[in-house]
């Protein structure tokens, strides 16, 4: 059956049970065919239940789209109804494809899932939330790529067996945070188990494969919310500190500082992702403004810089042994989102 496409208030398009011949020969061809943020519905063996999966909320994070395209082309029948939500179609299509997190001058879509739902991104977020309310899924995944290279991990605002089980479909690392940013992951507050999956780097074939394999598990298993059936144990890291760079600060990635930037990281800083950094290992260099260009925000919005970073002879060191993740070498993301997250080396919160 050919897909039925219906425009929804000029905000979302719909594909119902799309056949492979309508999906293009590749994910790029399919993306080129998409005109708006798109909802895809696939009927399952048990039509009384629905699971949801959002992806491409950021236009430069393609693994989820690649996984969905591959899965649809293989014509699987899922165990329950599936609802796919492709949010960032507009930035993803801007040449070069998959290079922009958001439309130039636009908002980060994954910060718009809360009132007042302003501008175009707010309208898209609200339409996605309306779809979720209508579908009433038993669970929701939001599939991303990390802003740098590094291992896969999951993020949630709720740590219980159901959320750990969802995470275990993709990874054995789960970050639990009380910080609220307006992300889709916060849909968990609607008492729907919701987990963000960070598959790894956007250019990493392993990340694309991980997204596909996790989707296969998500679609084919009768119960994805039971921890007893998980394939591996999940290590939980709680309430990481979010280290941010001031919007007017400058950052460079160099082996030695040029003297012109407020912050300098080495080009291989991404190798620190999920590694332990001791207080005698330098992370980078600061300029004349020192640590004033940085903030270290905990889940309760308090400042914790003195427990995270320190300066000695112009170099930045951990104030204690820490485990870092979400480090990026993309200066745009480092400034618009965050530099990195950190917990104690033991995995415990820093506060």
Report, as an integer, the average pLDDT of 272-285.
Answer: 95
13-237 CATH pick, 3.40.630.10, 3.40.630.20, 3.40.1080.10, 3.40.80.10: 3.40.630.10
Which of 322, 61, 41, 53 has the alpha carbon at shortest distance from 170?
53
> For the residues of 102-114, what is the DSSP string, one character each?
S-TT---GGG-SS
* 171 has a pLDDT exceeding 90: yes
Per-residue model confidence (pLDDT) at position 9 = 52
Question: Would you say 292 and 258 are in contact if contact means Cβ atoms under 8 Å apart?
Answer: no
d(CA 160, CA 143): 20
What digits encode the pLDDT tens for the residues 218-260? 999 999 999 876 666 899 999 999 999 999 999 999 999 999 9
d(CA 90, CA 125): 13
303's tokens: 């400042």
Per-residue model confidence (pLDDT) at position 7 = 44
Report, as an integer, the average pLDDT of 65-85.
Answer: 98
The domain spans of the chain are: 13-237, 240-344
> Would you call the peptide bond into 116 cis, given omega within 30 degrees of 0 as the criterion?
yes
Q: Count of CB atoms within 10 A of residue 208's CB? A: 23
- DSSP class of residue 303 equals B
Per-residue model confidence (pLDDT) at position 28 = 98
Which of 87, 55, 49, 50 has the alpha carbon at shortest distance from 68?
55
Per-residue model confidence (pLDDT) at position 348 = 82
Question: Would you say 351 and 239 are in contact if contact means Cβ atoms under 8 Å apart?
Answer: yes
Band of the pLDDT at 88, cuts 50, 70, 90?
very high
Question: Would you say 264 and 257 are in contact if contact means Cβ atoms under 8 Å apart?
Answer: yes
What digits encode the pLDDT tens for the residues 187-227? 999 999 999 999 999 999 999 999 999 999 999 999 999 98
Per-residue model confidence (pLDDT) at position 13 = 95
Band of the pLDDT at 131, cuts 50, 70, 90?
very high
Exposure on the CB side of residue 76, measured as CA atoms within 13 A:
21
Query: What is the percentage of the chain residues whose pLDDT exceeds 70?
Result: 96
d(CA 97, CA 171): 27
Does this model's pTM top 0.85?
A: yes
* 98 has a pLDDT exceeding 80: yes
d(CA 80, CA 302): 43
């Amino acid at each position: 059956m050919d897909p039925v496409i219906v425009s929804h208030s000029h905000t979302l398009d719909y594909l119902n049970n799309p056949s492979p011949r309508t999906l293009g020969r590749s994910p790029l061809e399919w993306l080129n065919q998409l005109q708006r943020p798109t909802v895809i519905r696939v009927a399952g063996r048990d039509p009384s239940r629905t699971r949801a999966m959002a992806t491409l909320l950021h236009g430069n994070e393609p693994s989820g789209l690649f996984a969905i395209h591959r899965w649809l082309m293989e014509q699987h029948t899922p165990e329950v109804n599936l609802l796919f939500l492709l949010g960032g179609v507009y930035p993803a299509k801007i040449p070069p494809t998959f290079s922009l997190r958001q439309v130039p001058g636009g908002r980060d879509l994954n910060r718009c899932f809360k009132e007042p739902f302003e501008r175009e991104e707010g309208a898209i977020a609200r339409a996605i939330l309306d779809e979720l309310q209508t579908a009433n899924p038993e669970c929701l995944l939001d599939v991303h790529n990390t802003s740098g290279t590094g291992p896969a991990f999951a993020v949630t605002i709720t740590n219980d067996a159901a959320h750990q089980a969802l995470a275990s479909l993709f990874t054995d690392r789960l970050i639990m945070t009380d910080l609220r940013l307006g992300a889709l992951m916060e849909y968990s507050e609607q008492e729907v188990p919701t987990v963000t999956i960070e598959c790894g780097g956007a250019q990493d074939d392993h990340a694309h494969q991980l997204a596909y394999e996790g989707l296969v598990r998500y679609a084919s298993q009768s119960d994805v919310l039971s921890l007893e059936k998980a394939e591996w144990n999940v290590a939980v890291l709680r309430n990481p500190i979010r280290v941010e760079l001031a919007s007017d600060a400058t950052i460079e990635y160099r082996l030695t500082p040029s003297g012109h930037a407020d912050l300098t990281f080495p080009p291989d800083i991404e190798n620190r992702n999920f590694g332990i950094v001791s207080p005698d290992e330098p992370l980078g260099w600061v300029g004349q403004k020192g640590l004033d260009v940085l903030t270290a925000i905990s889940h309760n919005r308090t400042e914790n810089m003195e427990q995270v970073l320190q300066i000695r002879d112009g170099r930045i060191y951990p104030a204690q042994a820490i485990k870092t993740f979400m480090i990026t070498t993309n200066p745009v993301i480092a400034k618009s989102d965050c530099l990195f997250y950190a917990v104690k080396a033991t995995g415990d919160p820093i506060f």
